[in-house]
C-alpha cells in the first residue's frame, strides 16, 4: 500500500516509472488520436501496452455506460409528463398576428400564426397515413392580401404512395386555409422528411 | 378507435417531426419527446450528481428550459446531445447552489453511493465494476470523468462549465482514469 495515495489504492503500475517515462494522460491522448502517428516509444514499452489495453477496455465500457444506465431507469409515467407540461408556457408560440379581412368596416379580426399552424397540422386528420411536422409561413402575413408561401414537413406511412399522399395533404391544407382564413396563399410546399414504419401497436390495432 | 390516424402515430414519429411540431407549439409532441428522453436524462443526471434526490428536479428543469429554446436546435440529429447538454448544465447548477463553498478539487473520500442491487443485477460484469469504481471516486473526479466520457465534453468545455483551469481538468481526468482502471484491475 502506497501511503501517499489518499484513495488507498495499492501501487497500480500506471506511474511514469512503470510506463517508461510516459504518463497515463499521454496514453489517453494517444488512444484518442487512434494511435496515429505511431509512437514507437509507447508501442515498444510493455508497461505502456498494458496500460493502453486497460484504457481501451475502459473506453469501450464508457461508451456503453449511458445506454445501460438508461435501460435501467423507469419509464416516464403520466404524472411526470403532465407535471412538465403544466410548467411550460403554452402561449409562447403564438407568433405573428394574421389579419382576417372582413366586410364589416369596424371589425378588426385576426388569428395568430400559432393557430394557423395548428390548423395546418389538423389537416393530417383527414389524410390517412400522414403526420405533419414543422410548418413555416413565409411572407408578410401581417399585411392583408400579401402573398404567402406555406412550407410543411411531413412523415408518410410506409406503403402509402408518397406523391399522391403529399398531394392530398396539400389540397386539404389549402381547403382548410381558404375556408378559415383570408390569407393569399400563393403556394403550399410539402417536404416529406421520412417514411414511418408501422409500429407493433399499430399492427395489432389493424 | 381512439387514434384518428392508425397508420402513423405521434408516439412513433421521428425526432425531426416531433421537434418541428413542438417548435410550432404542439405540446403533445413535446410530451412524446419528454417520454422518449426522460430515462436517458435521468441516467445522465444521476451520474453527475452523487445522490439521487435532485435528479427529477434537474430533469424537469432541463425539459422546461428545452421547451423555451427548442427553436435553437438546427439539426434534429443533434436533439439528443443538445438535451444532454441542458441536463448537465442543470445538474451542475444544482451542484454549485448546494455546496457553494466546496472546492471542486477536493480529494476527500466520497460518500458511498447506494445503487439498487436489483437495478444492476443484470448489468454486464464490466459495467458493474465500472459503476463500483465510479461510486468510489471523489465527486470532482467523477463529475469530470462523466462530462468527458459520457457527455462528450472537451477539456475546454469542462473548464468553462466547472470554472476551473484546463490543467486542473486534465489532472482530475487523469486521476479518475487511473483510479477507475486500478480498481477494475483489482476486481478482475
Q: ipTM of the predicted structure? A: 0.85
Task: Convert chain A into a string of H (helix), E (strand) and C (coil).
Answer: CCCCCCCCCCCCCCCCCCCCCCCHHHHHHHHHCCCCCCCHHHHCCHHHHHHHHHHHHHHHHHHHHHHHHHHHCCCCCHHHHHHHHCCCCHHHHCCCEEEECCCCCCCCEEEEHHHHHHHHHHHHHHCCCEEEEEEEEECCCCCCCCEEEEEEEEEEECCCCHHHHHHHHHHHHHHHHHHHCCCEEEEEEEEEEEEECCCHHHHHHC
Give B-chain residues touching A89 at CB under 8 angstroms. 67-68
CB A2 within 8 A of CB B178: no
- Confidence (pLDDT) at A89: 77
pLDDT band at A199 (very low <50, low <70, confident <90, very high): low
Q: Does A4 touch chain B (CB under 8 A)?
A: no
Would you call B150 and A70 a contact, using CB atoms and an 8 Å cutoff?
no
How many CA atoms lie within 13 Å of B13's alpha carbon, on the beta-carbon side?
34
Nearest alpha-carbon partner for A29 in A55, A61, A65, A57: A55
pLDDT at B158 over 90: yes
Least confident of A92-101, A133-142, B66-75: A92-101
Copy the grid coordinates of residue A89: 408556457
Fold of B116-188: Arc Repressor Mutant, subunit A (1.10.10)
pLDDT at B114 over 60: no
B-proximal residues of A, 49-108, CB under 8 Å:
51, 54-55, 57-59, 61-62, 64-66, 68-76, 80-81, 83-85, 87-90, 92-94
Domain positions in chain B are 9-100, 116-188
Copy the grid coordinates of residue A74: 423507469
- Confidence (pLDDT) at A2: 43
Architecture of domain B9-100: Orthogonal Bundle (1.10)
Longest Cα separation, chain B: 61
Q: Does A112 touch chain B (CB under 8 A)?
A: no
Phi-psi region at A22: left, alpha or beta (left = phi > 0; alpha = psi -120 to 50) = beta
Q: What is the pTM of this model?
A: 0.85
For the stretch B4-58, pLDDT in tens is: 456 888 999 999 999 999 999 999 999 999 999 999 999 999 999 977 679 999 9
Least confident of A95-109, A146-160, B23-37, B162-176: A95-109
Would you call B181 and A54 a contact, using CB atoms and an 8 Å cutoff?
yes
Amino acid at each position: 500500500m502506497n501511503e501517499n495515495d489518499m484513495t488507498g489504492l495499492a501501487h497500480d503500475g500506471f506511474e511514469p516509472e512503470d510506463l517508461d517515462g510516459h504518463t497515463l494522460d499521454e496514453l489517453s491522448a494517444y488512444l484518442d488520436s487512434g494511435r496515429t502517428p505511431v509512437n514507437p516509444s509507447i508501442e515498444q514499452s510493455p508497461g505502456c501496452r498494458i496500460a493502453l489495453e486497460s484504457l481501451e477496455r475502459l473506453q469501450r465500457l464508457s461508451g456503453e455506460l449511458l445506454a445501460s444506465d438508461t435501460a435501467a431507469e423507469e419509464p416516464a409515467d403520466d404524472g411526470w409528463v403532465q407535471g412538465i407540461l403544466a410548467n411550460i408556457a403554452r402561449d409562447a408560440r403564438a407568433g405573428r398576428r394574421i389579419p382576417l379581412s372582413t366586410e364589416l368596416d369596424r371589425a378588426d379580426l385576426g388569428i395568430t400564426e400559432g393557430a394557423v399552424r395548428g390548423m395546418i397540422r389538423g389537416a393530417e386528420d383527414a389524410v390517412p397515413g400522414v403526420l405533419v411536422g414543422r410548418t413555416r409561413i413565409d411572407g408578410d402575413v401581417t399585411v392583408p392580401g400579401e402573398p404567402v408561401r406555406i412550407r410543411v414537413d411531413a412523415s408518410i406511412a410506409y406503403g402509402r404512395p408518397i406523391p399522391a399522399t403529399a398531394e392530398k395533404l396539400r389540397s386539404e391544407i389549402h381547403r382548410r386555409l381558404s375556408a378559415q382564413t383570408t390569407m393569399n396563399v400563393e403556394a403550399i410546399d410539402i417536404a416529406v422528411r421520412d417514411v414511418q414504419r408501422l409500429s407493433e401497436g399499430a399492427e395489432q390495432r389493424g | 378507435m381512439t387514434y384518428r390516424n392508425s397508420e402513423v402515430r405521434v408516439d412513433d414519429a421521428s425526432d425531426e417531426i416531433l421537434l418541428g411540431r413542438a417548435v410550432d407549439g404542439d405540446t403533445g409532441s413535446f410530451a412524446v419527446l419528454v417520454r422518449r428522453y426522460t430515462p436517458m436524462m435521468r441516467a445522465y443526471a444521476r451520474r453527475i450528481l452523487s445522490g439521487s434526490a435532485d435528479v427529477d428536479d434537474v430533469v424537469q428543469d432541463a425539459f422546461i428550459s428545452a421547451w423555451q429554446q427548442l427553436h435553437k436546435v438546427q439539426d434534429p440529429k443533434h436533439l439528443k446531445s443538445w438535451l444532454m447538454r441542458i441536463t448537465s448544465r442543470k445538474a451542475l447548477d444544482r451542484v454549485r447552489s448546494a455546496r457553494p463553498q466546496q472546492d471542486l478539487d477536493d480529494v476527500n473520500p466520497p460518500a458511498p453511493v447506494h445503487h439498487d442491487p436489483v437495478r444492476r443485477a443484470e448489468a454486464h460484469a464490466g459495467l458493474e465494476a465500472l459503476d463500483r469504481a465510479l461510486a468510489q471516486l471523489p465527486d470532482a473526479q467523477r463529475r469530470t470523468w462523466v462530462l468527458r466520457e459520457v457527455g462528450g465534453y472537451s477539456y475546454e468545455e469542462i473548464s468553462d462549465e466547472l470554472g476551473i483551469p484546463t490543467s486542473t481538468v486534465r489532472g482530475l481526468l487523469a486521476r479518475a482514469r487511473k483510479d477507475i482502471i486500478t480498481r477494475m484491475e483489482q476486481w478482475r
